[in-house]
Structure 1
Amino acid sequence: MKVGLTDGYRVRRVGADEAFRGIEPLAEVLLDCVEGGASVSFMWPLPRERAQGFWRGVAEGVARGERALLVAEDQGGEIVGTAQLILSQPDNQPHRADVAKMLVHRRARRRGLAQRLLSALEDEARREGKTVLVLDTVTGGDAERLYARGGWQRVGVIPNYALMPDGRPCATTYFHKPLAIQAS
């Protein structure tokens, strides 16, 4: 399903088969982001096999219907960005999804891809019947500003919540966004 195509970049949701075929390019995006200092659950140096294993697990989650995986591709069809919705939630939270691992390769940044991925995630969440989205991000980073501009509501900050890839502690800011379900 095509979600958007502008400026030579396309953002779309992929199914399980494509997710499994995309393990290597998705691992490359993750490796680039962690090497560049992104605090996205991994430390540097990040072994390629660990990055590939992470994406294999994501693809398995897509196959089980637990996750929605979006990719941003350049004109040549190369994956340069990605984001996920964690759809599987506890029984008392079927209306909620978590946004996870929004990543854009450093060579494709400053082109609006993160905003397009975020907008596409919100559209996919609505299609899935979700009315509340939740995410966390490094306090003070570019992503925090992106979410605030996108209408996300800041919930609060937890000091020393995670580590940067180089081992320095960092604070994490939590956001949520209510969604209205679109009529079909």
Structure 2
Amino acid sequence: MTAPILRELSATDLDAALPGLRDLLHACVAAGASISFIKPFRPEDASMFWKDSVFPGVQAGTCLLFDAEIDGRVVGSVQFDMNTPPNQHHRGEVRKLLVHPDCRRNGIAKLLMNRLEVAALANHRTLITLDTRTGDAAEPLYASLDYERAGTIPGFARDVASDRLDATTIFYKHLTRE
């Protein structure tokens, strides 16, 4: 597999990036990812998510958006939400680490998370938080990146394809400048 190219998307990149981000999100939900959506989930729903929920934060400078591309195709993305209250400007939250189902287990998620951590420090954010569905493949990933498990909340979110309520696990990591 060709090495991915990582980019931080700016406000001027968003319109051109939308089709790739839409397809990535749609594919992840179709594969069962627990990332806020339930089936049926249309490509149009994915487009609206990016335009309504992510792009405004990127444009305002409160959200960093990274993607990973291979041969011009978006195969991964992650967001770093820095829209925090005045007493929490030292932290941010990882949102929607996505890797296309066809490209998983190739190190793309680690590359995206490492890039996010560098950007977090550059923005004076030394605490990162995130949550993931308990039992998902992402849990060992975060542990391998030195994220610490803070706890589990049962019945946190509905499963993507059924009425079952799944638990979520909260992770955090303190960053230090080297």
TM over 0.5: yes
Q: Distance in 2 between matches of 1:116 and 1:8?
A: 10
Q: Counterparts of 1:25 and 1:35 in 2: how far apart (Å)?
A: 15
Tell me the SS of whatever aligns to 1:92: helix
8 A Cα contact 1:69 1:82, kept in partner: yes
> Which residue of the partner structure matches residue 98 of structure 1?
93
Q: Structure 1 residue runs of 4+, over 6 Å off?
A: none
TM-score normalised by the chain length of structure 2: 0.95
Q: Percent identity?
A: 39
Q: Once structures 1 and 2 are overlaid, which stretch shifts more, 41-50 or 148-157?
A: 41-50
In the TM superposition, 1:152-171 aligns within 5 A as: 152-167=147-162, 168-171=164-167
User: How far 1:61 sits from its partner (Å)?
Assistant: 1.3
Q: TM-score, normalised by structure 1?
A: 0.92
The 8 Å contact of residues 129 and 181 in structure 1, kept in 2 or not, is answered as no
User: In the alignment, does 2:131 pair up with 1:136?
Assistant: yes
Q: Which amino acid aligns with 1:85?
A: F
State whether structure 2 residue 49 is matched by structure 1 residue 54: yes
Shift in Å at residue 20 of structure 1?
A: 2.5
**Who is 2:64 aligned against?**
68
RMSD: 1.3
Corresponding pairs, count: 176
Q: Which moved more, 1:94-103 or 1:7-16?
A: 7-16
**CA-CA distance at 1:181 after TM superposition:** 3.2
- Note the C-alpha offset of 1:134: 0.2
1:20 to 1, 15, 24: 15
Paired residue type of 2:175: L
Shift of 1:130: 0.3
Task: Confirm or deny that 1:149 pairs with 2:155.
Answer: no
Give the match for residue 170 of structure 2.
174
The residue matched to 1:137 in structure 2 has which SS?
A: strand
Q: Does 1:117 align with 2:112?
A: yes
Q: Return 5+ residue gaps in structure 1 as ranges.
A: 1-5
